[in-house]
């Protein structure tokens, strides 16, 4: 027989346990709700894991890496042929440089290739291209005035002399500078895993309004270069690429932005004025996807702001995938964009 005192203790203990469980149950419910709200505000659990430069789902692991977005400046003339490494870029931006030719800014983050190049110099235009994702520039160097402006913008530069850079003996200078991007990425590690902001407003095909048929594109930069595209087998194929066979950039979409072009304030070694793309403000936009074009406008409050896209009916979202961005001068500067069925 248990004593009365023992029965009292057991009863008290059971009562305390009952109250404790009830309290825990209440806390669990509150905690679940609170953690959901917290996750939503911080973007840790309630948001899907996607890559910032493509909008594609992360296949295991995390989109937060311990190196910044690496933006490599690549030559885009016949002398660069064959270009190496474009097939592994997340995104490419094509910009006007002196002499009416263009140069590429190839973005690497979700995949880091080995050898990439030819690596060429930076322009002031790159500030507006790189800063929205706090990217680091991989380059051969640049004019003193440009390097100063890029440094003042807080952009880190990796150039010849940094880990990974070398001269390819079978090519002639200045088209023989290459780099091992794996070594550059290692040198860029800061020990802090962080996911950059989305470069573009990502969505899906169902978000797109009805467009016009556009199986071919010609982006004319108003000088001696036009980039031609044809929609084939679900992607846009660059008809006059300098990439090595099998190493072409697989463009799911081509985004054309009409931009103002100013004067960078100095001449190149050949005496040509150096242009500067003004990648802020607003202008016309054309999104080419799945053989159609949707027309709208783009806006960017300042050089470091995210790109916003819209149509007359509202926001314009880009289907997740690999995007080639053409920064084509406005008509007053001689640029033009044409497309056909």
Q: Which residues pair with 258 in a beta bridge?
A: 328
Q: Which of 56, 82, 83 is nearest to 198 (CA)?
A: 56
323-333 average pLDDT score: 93
Q: Which long-range contacts (CB under 8 A, 24 or more apart) does 153-157 make?
A: 153/127, 153/303, 155/126, 155/127, 155/130, 155/131, 156/68, 156/188, 157/122
Predicted TM-score (pTM) of the model is 0.85
The predicted-structure confidence for 166-216, as pLDDT tens digits, reads as follows 999 999 999 999 999 999 999 999 888 889 999 999 999 999 999 999 999
**167 close to 176: Cβ distance less than 8 angstroms:** yes
Comparing 30-44, 48-62, 260-274, which segment has the lowest mean pLDDT?
A: 30-44
pLDDT tens digits, 111-130: 999 999 999 999 999 999 99
| Cβ neighbourhood burial of 4 (10 Å; 0-12, 13-18, 19+) | exposed
Residue-level pLDDT at 31:
34
**Does the structure show a pLDDT above 90 at 97?**
yes
pLDDT of the residue at 32:
36
- Residue 40 has a pLDDT of 38
The whole-number average pLDDT for the span 61-78 is 95
Domains of the chain as residue ranges with CATH: 70-188 (3.50.90.10), 202-340 (3.50.90.10)
């Amino acid at each position: 027989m248990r004593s009365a005192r023992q029965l009292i203790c057991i009863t008290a203990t059971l009562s305390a346990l009952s109250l404790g469980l009830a309290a825990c149950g209440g806390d669990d419910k509150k905690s679940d709700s609170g953690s959901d709200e917290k996750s939503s505000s911080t973007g840790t659990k309630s948001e899907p894991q996607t890559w910032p430069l493509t909008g594609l789902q992360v296949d295991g692991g995390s989109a937060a890496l311990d190196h910044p977005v690496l933006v490599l400046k690549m030559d885009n003339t016949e002398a660069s042929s064959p270009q190496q490494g474009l097939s592994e870029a997340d995104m490419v931006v094509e910009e006007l440089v002196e002499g009416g030719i263009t140069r590429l800014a190839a973005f690497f983050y979700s995949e880091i290739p080995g050898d990439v190049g030819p690596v060429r110099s930076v322009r002031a235009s790159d500030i507006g291209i790189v800063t929205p994702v706090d990217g680091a520039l991989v380059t051969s160097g640049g004019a003193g005035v440009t390097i100063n402006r890029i440094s003042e913008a807080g952009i880190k530069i990796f150039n010849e002399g940094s880990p990974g850079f070398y001269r390819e003996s079978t090519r002639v200078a200045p088209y023989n500078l290459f780099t091992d991007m794996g070594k550059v990425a290692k040198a860029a590690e800061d020990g802090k895993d962080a996911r950059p902001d989305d470069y573009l407003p990502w969505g899906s095909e169902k978000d797109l309004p009805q467009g016009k048929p556009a199986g071919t594109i010609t982006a004319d930069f108003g000088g001696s270069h036009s980039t031609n595209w044809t929609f084939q087998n679900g992607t846009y194929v660059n008809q006059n690429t300098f990439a090595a066979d099998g190493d072409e950039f697989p463009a799911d979409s081509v985004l054309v932005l009409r931009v103002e072009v100013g004067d960078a304030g100095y001449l190149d070694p050949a005496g040509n004025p150096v242009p500067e793309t003004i990648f802020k403000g607003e202008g016309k936009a054309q999104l080419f996807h799945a053989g159609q074009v949707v027309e709208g406008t783009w806006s960017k409050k300042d050089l470091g702001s995210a790109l916003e896209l819209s149509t007359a009916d509202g926001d314009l979202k880009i289907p997740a995938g690999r995007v080639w961005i053409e920064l084509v001068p406005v008509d007053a500067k001689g640029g033009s964009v044409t497309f056909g069925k």
